[in-house]
Amino acid sequence: MGWVVAPDDVVQFVQRTALVLRAALGNHLIGAYFVGSVALGGYIAGESDVDILAVVDGPVPPDLKDRIADRLLQLATDCPARGLEFTLYRRDVVERLREGADFEVNVNGGPRMERTVHLDASAEPQFWLSWTER
């Protein structure tokens, strides 16, 4: 499998996103990763969105979730793509297969995307990037 190369403006946007997360979460942030079209090599400039999945080492306090969501929505206004689709998961969720959403923060928005913020996984009936039992 070869390396997927993303456009420079998309890489810079993800780097700014990671800086926002590092400032908010400190050493609790494990990492931020491309998923979706960028990771799969199907990104189309002007049409695709930027999907980012990040992992934190434990639960995020509600007030911090709000601050992260607000800051990411501000950042998303400068997204070089259609918009940002971002989800923050706890390490224990991504370490084993689970059923249900179990995310900490889900934020979508950008130049051509509706803004949505979800901070309570239990309020979501089924989430698009759920881990399921096999």
Task: Establish if 133 belongs to a structural domain.
Answer: no
Least trusted range by pLDDT, from 30-34, 46-50, 128-132: 128-132
Domain limits for position 35: 8-123
Task: Establish if 83 belongs to a structural domain.
Answer: yes
For the stretch 72-100, pLDDT in tens is 999 999 998 899 999 999 998 888 755 65
Q: How far apart are CA 12 and CA 30, in angstroms?
A: 19
pTM of the model: 0.80
Task: Establish if 73 belongs to a structural domain.
Answer: yes
Q: Name the domain count of the chain.
A: 1
Task: Establish if 128 belongs to a structural domain.
Answer: no
